[in-house]
């Protein structure tokens, strides 16, 4: 166990070292959520002047409704591409080098998942700061903000793990991108990240029920709009369980990575 953690740390170290070296990538990841908040917040602000809509959203401020959604989306887009690093590593032989080293195999995905989570966390912190500057009030207070960050990190872990597990089988970046995009759309829209579930048609609501993104967004939104609800605890627990399942899965996939 100790070795697994140490090995994962150095895998993550490598990813993060490279991440912080890419200035453009870092700046873009900061600008993107900023644009979302400004553009979407302004464009949709008319919506909340309709009292019916305000009731559905649970708040009089669309920006408040949107903020958790934007945190979630940014984290998703960062973490889901984690698998591309494995495809790339395989391309130039580094994956073989990792597999030939006496490290725990599971450390490869866990390290990369951890790196993705750190990147996601960083972005989430920036969005929250910007949102506060735009007048968004977090009902659950400072501890609630920490909880939001925790949930965002847990979600980053799930999505990164998912894409890493795929990357063991998928050998080209193009195919991996296509597969990821296939999953991204339903993950996004069949959740209440952008629109409340109540206003969705029944069939879409059914998909939203099994979508892990819903389980992340509900507690995040509750923490922002309502405060510490019971859903916060229940849904976070579900997210945690999904995290464990994904970790067991990726660990197995990478352990068998030489099985051919």
Partner 1 sequence: MSDAIIVENLRKTYSNGVEAVKGISFSVHYGEIFGFLGPNGAGKSTTIKTVIGLLKPTSGKIILDGHDVQKDPYKARLAKGYASQETAVDDRLTAYENIYLQGKFFHMKEEEIRKNAEELLKMFGLWERKNDLVETFSGGMMKRLDIAAALIHKPKILFLDEPTLGLDIQTRAAIWEYIRKFKESGMTIFLTTHYLEEADALCDRVAIIDKGQIMALDKPGALKSEIGGDLITITFANTGENTEKFLEAVKKIEGIKSVSKMKNGIYSIVAEKNGDKMIPELFSLAPEFNVQINSVRLKRPTLDDVYMKYTGRTIREAESSRDENMKNRMITRRAKR
**Between residue 209 and residue 248, which ones bind partner 1 under the rule CB under 8 A?**
none
In whole angstroms, how close is the CB of 63 to partner 1 at the nearest point?
37
**Between residue 103 and residue 122, which ones bind partner 1 under the rule CB under 8 A?**
103
Is position 174 an interface residue for partner 1 (rule: CB under 8 A)?
A: no
Sole window of 1-9, 65-73, 136-144, 225-233 interacting with partner 1 (rule: CB under 8 A): 1-9
User: Any idea how long the chain is?
Assistant: 260
From the list 7, 36, 64, 119, which residue makes contact with partner 1 (rule: CB under 8 A)?
7
**Between residue 21 and residue 50, which ones bind partner 1 under the rule CB under 8 A?**
21-22
From the list 1, 100, 185, 210, which residue makes contact with partner 1 (rule: CB under 8 A)?
100
For helices 83-91 and 107-133, the axis angle rounded to 10 degrees is: 130
Letter string b/e over residues 36-72, b meaning 16 or more CB atoms within 10 A of that residue's CB: bbeebbeebeeebeeeebbebbebebbbbbbbbbbbb
* Token code pair at residue 63: 């920006």
Is position 259 an interface residue for partner 1 (rule: CB under 8 A)?
A: yes
**Beta-carbon contacts of residue 236 (< 8 Å; ≥ 6 apart):** 147, 150, 151, 154, 219
In whole angstroms, how close is the CB of 53 to partner 1 at the nearest point?
47
Is position 18 an interface residue for partner 1 (rule: CB under 8 A)?
A: yes
Strands (E), the chain: none
Is position 3 an interface residue for partner 1 (rule: CB under 8 A)?
A: yes
- Rounded Cα gap, residues 116 and 161, in angstroms: 9
Is position 52 an interface residue for partner 1 (rule: CB under 8 A)?
A: no
**Beta-carbon contacts of residue 59 (< 8 Å; ≥ 6 apart):** 48, 65, 225
Kindly determine how many residues on this chain lie close enough to bind partner 1 according to the rule CB under 8 A: 24
**Beta-carbon contacts of residue 145 (< 8 Å; ≥ 6 apart):** 128, 138, 223
From the list 5, 13, 50, 244, which residue makes contact with partner 1 (rule: CB under 8 A)?
13
Is position 20 an interface residue for partner 1 (rule: CB under 8 A)?
A: no
Looking at beta carbons only, is 111 or 144 nearer to partner 1?
111
Looking at beta carbons only, is 21 or 202 nearer to partner 1?
21
- Chain-centre distance of CA 79, in angstroms? 6
Binding site for partner 1 (CB under 8 A): 3, 6-7, 10, 13-14, 17-18, 21-22, 92-94, 96-103, 258-260
């Amino acid at each position: 166990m100790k070795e697994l953690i140490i090995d994962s740390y150095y895998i993550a170290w490598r990813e993060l070292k490279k991440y912080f070296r890419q200035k453009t990538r870092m700046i873009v990841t900061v600008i993107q959520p900023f644009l979302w908040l400004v553009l979407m917040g302004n464009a949709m602000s008319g919506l909340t002047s309709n009292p019916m809509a305000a009731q559905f959203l649970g708040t009089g401020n669309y920006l408040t409704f949107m903020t958790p959604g934007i945190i979630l989306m940014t984290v998703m887009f960062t973490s889901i591409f984690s698998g591309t690093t494995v495809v790339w590593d395989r391309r130039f032989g580094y994956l073989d080098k990792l597999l030939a080293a006496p490290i725990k195999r599971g450390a490869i995905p866990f390290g990369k998942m951890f790196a993705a989570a750190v990147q996601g966390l960083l972005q989430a912190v920036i969005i929250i700061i910007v949102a506060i500057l735009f007048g968004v009030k977090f009902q659950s207070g400072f501890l609630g903000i920490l909880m939001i960050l925790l949930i965002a990190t847990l979600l980053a872990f799930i999505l990164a793990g998912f894409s890493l597990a795929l990357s063991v089988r998928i050998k080209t970046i193009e195919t991996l991108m296509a597969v990821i995009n296939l999953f991204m759309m339903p993950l996004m829209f069949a959740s209440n990240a952008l629109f409340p579930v109540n206003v969705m048609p029944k069939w879409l609501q059914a998909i939203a029920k099994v979508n892990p993104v819903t389980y992340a967004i509900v507690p995040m939104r509750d923490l922002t709009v309502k405060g510490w609800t019971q859903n916060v605890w229940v849904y976070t627990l579900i997210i945690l369980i999904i995290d464990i399942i994904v970790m067991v899965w990726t660990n197995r996939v990478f352990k068998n990575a030489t099985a051919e």
